Structure 1
Amino acid sequence: MKRVPFKRVWALALALSASSLAATLPSRAVLSGTCCPGAVWTPDSQALLFLDGPPARPTTGIYQVSADGETVTRRFSSVAFFSPKLRWAVRPGTGENTVIERLADGRRFTLPTRGGDVTWTASENRLAFTRSDTAGNFDRRATRVFAADVFGSPRQVATLYGGGISGWLNENVLLLNGKRSPGNRDRELFTLDTRTGARRSLATALSFRGVSVSPDGSRVIYYVAFDSAARNGLWLRPTSGGTPRKLDAFGSYRWRDARRLLLIPLRADGSPHVLREYNVGTNAWRTLGDLGDQVRQGDWNVSPDGERVSYLSARDGNVRVVELP
């Protein structure tokens, strides 16, 4: 019988036990009282926005708490969909039209989104939205994709079935997923240049879950389940085409920046959630530490500067902030 070198056994043991040896990352509660699921970071990474109202706050509105938890102020007196850079408010009406308001000067225009939100480019000078049939099985339901410049007229750029918008890759190119015809089994993940109509197919599968575009638009990560063994799993794929990479992991994930991905592996035993980081360039994982807690219902976010993580505590319902290594 061939003897396995001790060093190799030791290295394997260290790798397998990395999560159990992870140090607990210090965190602080910035909101308490189970008030505020769904808190999101402000564009400058200095505060978190959350929806609240009576009895905890005098009036209903969008409030913000500083990242150190010291200061809470009301940021917006009305409730709306706000763009990622907080330049626009999307205010649905009771009919076809939705009002888009530029917060800097109050200038407005309308789009026929039927009350839905819009998807912004990084510059927030262009947007896209969908209009879907309201009856029938979702897998066979037609969804029409529209793109527009701000203050411009929308133009239909695609029709797909059982899918929608996954994000913008740049100012012109959308990432979409859906079926080409209602009777198809598989969905397609593809890019679409909204100016020229050029289309590139990236992958096909029964369905795509957790589709997330990297901040620079160069990569997309997604999960495939209940398909063939060759298709199932967590996939990282260049949006320009090229060879995809299957990651040996399963859990909840967020981009930290264009080259680093954070992942919380599934822990079915109720033990604290561990935060891991994947480096796209080196194809290597490292364990940052555990939270000493679990995240409730996948409610966690990375600050835009990649320096902090906020999460809703499963233990006490507080919103907590962790400084990342």
Structure 2
Amino acid sequence: MTALDVEVGGARPYRIHIGAGLLDDGALLARPLRGRHALVASDGNVAPLYAAGVVDALRAARPDAQVATCVIPPGEQEKTLARFGEAIDALAALGATRDACVYALGGGVVGDLAGFAAACWMRGIDCVQLPTSLLAMVDSSVGGKTAVDLPQGKNLVGAFHPPRAVVADTATLRTLPARELRAGLAEVVKYGAIAESGFLDWLDAHADALLGGDADALSEAIARSCAHKAAIVERDPFEHGERALLNFGHTFGHAIETAQDYGALNHGEAVAVGMVLAARLSAALGLATDTDTMILRALLQRLGLPTEPPAGLAPDTLLAHMRLDKKAQASGLRFVLWDGPGHARVVADVPEDAVLDVLRGA
């Protein structure tokens, strides 16, 4: 299969490389390395599979480079200031200079945390994203959002720090648990929901191939998703406007994740539920129809994703977490809602009673 590239423009342009076997391409990996120091950051699930190969490939392409590793335990609960501190300590131990590079090898947690460490070390060094989960390939590795979580909510401490490159090796998806593959498909569906209704039709037609791990189908889904995100990020790099549309389903989803202490549902599953709740809220406010919600819900269910919140989460508790959401303003809650498939919008000052009605109805 031919590798696919997606260009991300703007003030700091970079390229997304998509294809099988790219983590073995030392020349590709080393191309963004301007200095002699490289830190490969990963987690306890991914590092045993791929870290040694990445280190070897870098050293083969750049024999003069000093390459170190930093491995954190896996899981969203590890995306903390303490683990961020470990990455900073690793950079200090390496003696990383201003032209050093952090290679974020893993899923969204590693990408966010390692990217944030790169943003902060010496006020900003290079970062290359090496996503190994579908969710990271189509979402968190692209656009330069980096962050860690606090007990009060997700991604409350972070920085915008675009990568120098993204290398998405689709061969790593072969080792991805089926649940994590499905979780990534939730973010893929999001792009159809907010930008291209025809993409939803394509996903429905290729659902079996995607769930079966078909390489060509997955590569096309990744490339189309990245192209949508790249276009939005290029127009709005710091989320002053249109980029907020990428958070469709996330206000509900993040509240669910925080309320359950990042337990029952993973991020993609929570976003799937959140998108259905956002569609229901859109219908309740007269922006879309109940039929639109049913179409979205049916596609998510076909992809093996949950569409209802876990039992036992109190609506008032979820609402309290939404008040801390980064899209909230002093005047009230802001949600990304839709006018139907392919047409999303940011809606300010959404009545809390309407949100509670949707949560109670779920």
With normalisation by structure 1, the TM-score equals 0.27
With normalisation by structure 2, the TM-score equals 0.25
Question: Could you say which structure has the higher strand fraction?
Answer: 1
Question: Could you say which structure has the higher helix fraction?
Answer: 2
The structure whose Rg is larger is 1
